[in-house]
């Protein structure tokens, strides 16, 4: 709320801007409500019978991260790859030239059987489906880097296969969706008779785990997915098609079905355009090339948009069209240069590619992968408007709705206009009049909320010129009627209608709306009673001119709209000095005033935290806790994460014997973290390994009773361990070494000597060497590849295959 305690509703998400117009959509990248593009699409005409014949003959093409491709052999009895030397059989282990094995053993692919489909995931694992006439069906998973393969049987023939990010195999048959889970052991396992062996060597082997029947009379065509959702393309005998969407996280969840846009051709393949999308999904569909289109003029790839917020719990795609949401055709052009096979490529990098015809640049390829990109020539609808489905409920009867602020971008030649209707009960919504509002007026402040930047501060493309600064920012509208003696909008509920007008080449963008209620009226609060509005007033009067009280109220509202944001900035002026909320231009002189200058090359978050805790660092400067706090700020939380460990060197020496009567719990010990309890002993401080250590220790407690030899032991002890400090950097902390080295001289006392130790073995000092366990909780770092004249034997580097169809060719290029 503002300084007048006026509340507001904020609308800034796709769900809050949900509406029913096909000309408006929520742009997921710009996070704004915009006009949809209206390109003239050149889509091929596709008949179901012709398309299904092309679907049966469409072979997959796989592309690894090194540009090598693979496909099924013409007889579908094997897999072959092409790295520039022509097509060769894909081998299980290319490093073994004595007995090379084909991709799948012959007993798994008998002569009468064939491979049905193949897919390559982003983790460089390939899955191949196979089937034969003896009702033997299954999938084979092959890892390109580790060169292992695993297989499992399926109850139905897999027409299309797909691998998700968790390594689960999804297979789509004619009438069923199937799931396989599991992987082989990371290393070969050889049982030995001289030891106990597990009852099941690999309890998580690849195996069939689940199937779901498609609705009756619907048949599978294609399957693909993102990191969170799975998409199915199905058809029936009447030539209708549906898109099914289901989550990957819960197998028990139903499939949500969407009907296809009427303008779409009969498609036989699909591919998501964004693998990371979660709510609004855009899918590219592929239809066969028209036989009569010799010049390939109808070359556009159709793209549809599915909003997951519109999904229903429908289990059958043959329900009436009104019961199913629509997969909307996106009127943006995604042209293809040619089409060799009507199938998308399975690319290890996730890029959408299609199979194009070969050219003189690729003479060894009969078909080549080409990336699919949108045509960067936007053409938007000229106008579009719709009622927002979000209805604002003030919770109070007869609420006087006040003002709307639009956080928007309105380029030259474009406009955004609002209409509103108010009603007292939900039953009266349809009868309420929709009242057009005045045009929004640009405000000079970045936001009516003190010291806040508008959501539209990031440009949609290139930064606008200074002369066009009124196109972007915050616009305001005073909610009112167009006519009548009293032009207030009163009612418990408010519903807005948004109208966008563009110039064809550009679209306005509405990033957010803030609707304030109830009105804070200067007239009602500050003026005498006889100058206020008289009640009751006939609300149905739409012909009279505004009475004096109404005109005066709206006139004073103009001043209130200017003064309230100024009052808010004055009331919130303490934010200018706050290290978290203040502008960065204030932070440097604020740091100078506190005696904590800010290095200008530091990231903004680090500068703000340093300024926020500067007085605490100064209070404890010269102590171990102060140094840890300062290093934690400099390393962006590295001390807290264990990437930067500060150690007093005397703690590395095991001295101190068991002391009776002293509590030796090490729960908060910085090195052992509660793992060193051993009766009354403490690892690192209570373990005596020799008589010399005991002499040093006891002489420290009673120097006046020490003899000459013991005194020398004490001197040696202080010389070797006192006033010495070590900073251990591991993991990501090693990248912070330059800034830590530059920072230590001003934080460590002058008489203390320090050294920096780097390690790639994360552990809690004092525990890992004794217990032989890794007690630093983080993901195990991947081993580095062996490098000639660099790798030291036994330090963790391993020989690694490139994740490619042919590692030999990759290594030869390297």
As beta bridge partners, residue 47 has none
93 or 616, greater pLDDT: 616
Asked whether the beta carbons of 184 and 170 are under 8 A apart, the reply is no
3-state SS, residue 554: helix
Q: Find out whether the peptide bond into 350 is cis, omega within 30 degrees of 0.
A: no
Residue 717: predicted pLDDT:
67
Q: Find out whether the peptide bond into 536 is cis, omega within 30 degrees of 0.
A: yes
Could you give the count of Cα atoms lying within 13 Å of 2 in the half-sphere of its Cβ?
31
Residue 106: predicted pLDDT:
42
Residue 105 has pLDDT above 50, yes or no: no
The residue assigned the tokens 């009427």 is 262
**With bands split at pLDDT 50, 70 and 90, how would you rate the model's confidence at 158?**
very high
Residue 661 has pLDDT above 60, yes or no: no
Residue 103: predicted pLDDT:
38
Residue 479: predicted pLDDT:
93
Residue 779: predicted pLDDT:
57
Q: Compute the distance between CA of residue 684 and CA of residue 687 in angstroms, rounded to an integer.
A: 7
Q: Compute the distance between CA of residue 582 and CA of residue 808 in angstroms, rounded to an integer.
A: 57
Least confident piece of the model among 559-568, 635-644, 787-796: 787-796
Q: Are strands 218-225 and 207-213 parallel, antiparallel or unpaired?
A: unpaired
Asked whether the beta carbons of 53 and 44 are under 8 A apart, the reply is no
Give, for 585, the enclosing helix (H) or strand (E): helix 584-593
Other Cβ atoms closer than 10 A to 449: 19
Asked whether the beta carbons of 575 and 557 are under 8 A apart, the reply is no
Q: Of 34, 27, 30, 29, which is closest to residue 386 (Cα–Cα)?
A: 34
Residue 309: predicted pLDDT:
59
Give, for 647, the enclosing helix (H) or strand (E): strand 644-648
Residue 684: predicted pLDDT:
43
Residue 136: predicted pLDDT:
86
Output the six-digit token pair for 630.
């300062």
pLDDT per position as a tens digit, 283-301: 999 999 988 888 888 999 9
Residue 425 has pLDDT above 80, yes or no: yes
671 or 115, greater pLDDT: 115
Residue 92: predicted pLDDT:
63
pTM for the model stands at 0.72
What structural domains does the chain harbor?
A: 7-36+379-459+470-571 (2.60.120.260), 48-185+203-371 (2.120.10.30), 620-771 (no CATH)
The residue assigned the tokens 């009895």 is 77
Q: State CA 174 to chain mean position distance.
A: 33
Contact residues for 444 (Cβ-Cβ < 8 A; gap 6+): none
**With bands split at pLDDT 50, 70 and 90, how would you rate the model's confidence at 645?**
confident
Asked whether the beta carbons of 73 and 79 are under 8 A apart, the reply is yes
Residue 498: predicted pLDDT:
95
CA distances from 467 to 42, 409, 476 (A): 39, 14, 20
pLDDT per position as a tens digit, 370-389: 999 988 888 899 999 999 99
Q: Of 258, 171, 273, 263, which is closest to residue 222 (Cα–Cα)?
A: 171
Least confident piece of the model among 409-413, 429-433, 670-674, 788-792: 670-674
pLDDT per position as a tens digit, 427-481: 888 888 899 999 999 998 888 888 888 888 754 444 444 545 688 889 999 999 8
Q: At what angle do helices 624-634 and 604-612 cross, to 10 degrees?
A: 150
Q: Compute the distance between CA of residue 339 and CA of residue 301 in angstroms, rounded to an integer.
A: 11
DSSP state of 628: H
Residue 314 has pLDDT above 70, yes or no: no
Q: State CA 635 to chain mean position distance.
A: 25
Q: Compute the distance between CA of residue 80 and CA of residue 729 in angstroms, rounded to an integer.
A: 47
Residue 194 has pLDDT above 50, yes or no: yes
Q: What is the mean pLDDT of the chain?
A: 81
């Amino acid at each position: 709320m503002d300084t007048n305690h006026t509340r507001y509703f904020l609308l800034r998400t796709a769900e809050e801007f949900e509406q029913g117009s096909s000309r408006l959509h929520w742009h997921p990248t710009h996070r704004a409500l915009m006009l949809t593009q209206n390109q003239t699409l050149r889509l091929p005409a596709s008949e179901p019978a012709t398309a299904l014949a092309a679907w049966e003959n469409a072979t997959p093409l796989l592309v690894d991260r090194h540009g090598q491709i693979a496909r099924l052999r013409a007889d579908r009895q094997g897999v072959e790859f092409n790295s520039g030397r022509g097509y060769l059989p894909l081998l299980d282990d290319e490093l073994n030239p004595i007995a090379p094995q084909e991709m799948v053993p012959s007993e798994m692919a008998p002569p009468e059987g064939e491979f049905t489909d193949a897919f390559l995931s982003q983790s460089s694992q390939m899955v191949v489906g196979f089937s034969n006439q003896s009702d033997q069906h299954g999938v084979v998973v092959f890892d390109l880097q580790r060169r292992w393969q695993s297989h499992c049987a399926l109850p139905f023939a897999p027409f299309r296969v797909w691998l998700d990010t968790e390594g689960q195999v999804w297979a789509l048959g004619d009438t069923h969706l199937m799931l396989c889970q599991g992987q082989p052991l990371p290393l070969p396992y050889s049982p030995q008779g001289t030891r106990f062996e597990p009852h099941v060597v690999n309890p998580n082997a690849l195996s069939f785990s689940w199937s779901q029947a498609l609705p009756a009379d619907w048949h599978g065509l294609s399957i693909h997915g993102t990191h969170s959702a799975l998409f199915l393309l199905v058809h029936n005998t009447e030539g209708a098609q549906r898109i099914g969407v289901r989550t990957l996280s819960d197998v028990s969840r139903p499939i949500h079905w969407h009907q296809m846009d009427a303008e779409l051709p009969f498609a036989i393949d699909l591919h998501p355009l964004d693998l990371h999308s979660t709510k609004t999904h855009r899918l590219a569909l592929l239809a066969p090339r028209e036989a009569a289109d010799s010049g390939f003029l109808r070359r556009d790839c159709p793209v549809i948009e599915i909003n997951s917020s519109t999904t229903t719990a429908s289990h059958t795609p043959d329900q009436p069209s009104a019961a199913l949401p629509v997969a909307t055709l996106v009127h943006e052009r995604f042209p293809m240069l040619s089409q060799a096979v009507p199938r998308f490529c399975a690319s290890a990098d996730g890029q959408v590619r299609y199979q194009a015809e070969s050219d003189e640049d690729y003479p060894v390829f009969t078909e080549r992968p080409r990336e699919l990109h949108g045509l960067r020539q936007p053409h938007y609808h000229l106008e579009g408007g719709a009622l927002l489905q979000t209805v604002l409920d003030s919770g109070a009867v007869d609420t006087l709705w006040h003002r709307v602020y639009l956080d928007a971008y309105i380029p030259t030649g474009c406009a955004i206009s609002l209409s509103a209707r108010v009603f007292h009960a939900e039953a009266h919504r349809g009868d309420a009049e929709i009242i057009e509002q005045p045009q929004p007026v640009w405000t000079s402040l970045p936001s009516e909320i003190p010291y806040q930047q508008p959501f539209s501060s990031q440009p949609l493309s290139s930064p606008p010129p200074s002369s066009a600064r009124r196109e972007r920012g915050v616009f305001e509208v005073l909610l009112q009627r167009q006519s009548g003696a009293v032009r207030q909008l009163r009612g418990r509920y408010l519903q807005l209608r948004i109208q966008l007008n563009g110039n064809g080449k550009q679209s306005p963008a509405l990033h957010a709306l803030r609707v304030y209620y109830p009105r804070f009226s200067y007239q009602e609060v500050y003026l005498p009673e006889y100058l206020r509005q008289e009640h009751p007033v006939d609300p149905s009067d739409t012909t009279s001119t505004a009475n004096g009280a109404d005109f005066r109220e709206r006139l004073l509202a103009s001043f209130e709209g200017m003064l309230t944001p100024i009052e808010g900035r004055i009331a919130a002026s303490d934010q200018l000095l706050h290290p978290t909320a203040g502008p960065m231009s204030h932070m440097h002189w604020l740091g100078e005033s506190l005696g904590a200058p800010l290095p200008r090359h530091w990231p903004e978050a680090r500068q703000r935290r340093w300024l926020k805790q500067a007085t605490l660092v100064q209070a404890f400067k010269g102590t171990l806790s102060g140094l840890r706090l300062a290093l934690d700020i400099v390393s962006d939380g590295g001390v807290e994460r264990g990437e930067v460990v500060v150690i007093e060197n005397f703690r590395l020496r095991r001295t101190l014997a068991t002391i009776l009567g002293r509590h030796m719990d090490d729960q908060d010990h910085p090195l052992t973290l509660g793992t060193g309890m051993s009766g009354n002993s403490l690892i690192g401080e209570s373990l005596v390994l020799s008589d010399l250590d005991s002499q040093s220790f006891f002489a420290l407690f009673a120097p006046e009773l020490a003899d000459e030899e013991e005194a020398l032991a004490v001197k040696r002890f202080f010389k070797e361990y006192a006033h010495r400090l070590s900073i251990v950097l591991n993991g990501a902390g090693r990248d912070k070494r330059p800034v830590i080295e530059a920072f230590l001289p001003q934080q460590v006392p002058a008489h203390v000597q320090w050294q920096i130790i780097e390690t790639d073995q994360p552990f809690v000092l004092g525990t890992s060497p004794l217990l032989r366990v890794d007690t630093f909780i983080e993901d195990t770092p991947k081993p580095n590849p062996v490098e000639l004249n660099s790798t030291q034997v036994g330090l963790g580097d391993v020989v690694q295959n490139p994740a490619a169809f042919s590692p030999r060719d990759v290594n030869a290029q390297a």
